[in-house]
């Protein structure tokens, strides 16, 4: 690995306690707050989408109260899938040797790709149970997911975790547990790309009528997330227990994101080939 020239300066890492409030044995952490805030804000916006017939060309195929019922399923799918994904994709040897540790979610360890699969499965089961259009449910959820991604990556930064690779750029940070080298604030890169940028693009697509063709918004999200994650992986330090999978650059995050490019492209292609949503007048 080539030696980096020492930067003229490195930004001091902000001294923010990962614990927001501590009440006796109970503690409210920024990371947990990010999950809750992302869920509540996403829930609010999703209901707005369901109550906006102009975006669908008529009455939305999913009512706001029906999405209310889906939220618990989605939240459960995100948490369970995120944990299972981390165990299987990122640290299987450790959890195979310490199986009970797999249940200690409060110790950290969640994977986006696992949460993504878990939430999709939860929405499929819910829609099948309630006879609702699964793909339209995916479109609604995809529109609001970047809110949670943005808040979650900010919480990663506050926790001083998932830092980037060593660098000599002027905006590098020395993270408390990342060694003495200044590093890329890759959490902020992800917050900007996976959160703000994708959210803005999806909102523009929704306003342009993308919800009228089921699968368009979901496909856009999947494709754009795959692109953003692969890009940021070039700046993000790989997990210590995995390192680089090949060539000194390929990471698990890249491997898991590559299929998203194909899946997202297929969803958009399929949506464009099918007729627009046939909905009842509002």
Tens of pLDDT along 142-160?
A: 999 999 999 999 999 999 9
DSSP 106: G
Question: What is the average pLDDT value for the chain, to the nearest integer?
Answer: 92
Q: How confident is the model at residue 12 (pLDDT cuts 50, 70, 90)?
A: confident
Res 136: pLDDT: 97
Segment 212-222 shows an average pLDDT of 98
Q: What percent of the chain has pLDDT over 90?
A: 77
Q: 10 lies in a domain?
A: no
Q: CA 82 → CA 161, 212, 280, distances in Å? A: 17, 30, 37
Domain count, the chain: 1
Mean pLDDT of 80-89: 94
pLDDT beyond 60 at 212: yes
In this structure, what token pair is assigned to residue 281? 């007048």
Task: Establish if 119 belongs to a structural domain.
Answer: yes
Residue 187: which domain range? Answer: 25-273
Confirm whether 49 is domain-assigned: yes
- Give domain status of residue 57, yes or no: yes
Does the residue 245 lie in any domain?
yes
Mean pLDDT calculated for residue range 196-222: 98
Q: Cα–Cα distance between 176 and 193 in angstroms, integer? A: 24
Question: Are residues 29 and 248 in contact, defined by beta-carbon separation less than 8 angstroms?
Answer: no
The answer as to whether 14 is a domain residue is no
For residue 69, tell me if it sits in a domain.
yes
Q: Are 224 and 248 in contact (CB under 8 A)?
A: no
């Amino acid at each position: 690995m080539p030696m980096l020239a020492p930067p003229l300066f490195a930004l001091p890492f902000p001294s923010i306690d990962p614990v927001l409030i501590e009440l006796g044995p109970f503690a409210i952490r920024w990371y947990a707050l990010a999950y809750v805030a992302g869920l509540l804000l996403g829930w609010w916006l999703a209901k707005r989408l369901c109550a906006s017939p102009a975006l669908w060309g008529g009455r939305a195929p999913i009512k706001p109260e029906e999405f209310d019922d889906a939220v618990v399923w989605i939240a459960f799918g995100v948490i369970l899938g995120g944990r299972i994904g981390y165990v299987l994709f990122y640290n299987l040897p450790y959890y195979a040797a310490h199986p009970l540790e797999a249940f200690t979610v409060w110790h950290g360890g969640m994977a986006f790709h696992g949460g993504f699969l878990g939430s999709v499965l939860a929405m499929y089961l819910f829609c099948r149970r309630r006879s609702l259009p699964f793909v339209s449910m995916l479109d609604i959820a995809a529109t609001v997911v970047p809110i949670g991604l943005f808040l979650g990556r900010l919480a990663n930064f506050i926790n001083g975790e998932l830092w980037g690779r060593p660098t000599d750029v002027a905006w590098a940070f020395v993270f408390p547990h990342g060694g003495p080298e200044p590093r890329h604030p890759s959490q902020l890169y992800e917050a900007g790309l996976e959160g703000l940028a994708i959210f803005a693009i999806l909102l523009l697509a929704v306003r342009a009528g993308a919800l009228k063709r089921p699968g368009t918004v979901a496909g856009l999200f999947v494709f754009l997330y795959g692109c953003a994650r692969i890009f940021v992986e070039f700046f993000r330090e790989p997990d210590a227990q995995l390192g680089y999978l090949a060539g000194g650059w390929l990471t698990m995050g890249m491997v898991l994101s590559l299929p998203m490019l194909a899946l997202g492209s297929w969803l958009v292609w399929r949506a464009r080939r099918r007729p627009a949503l046939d909905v009842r007048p509002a």
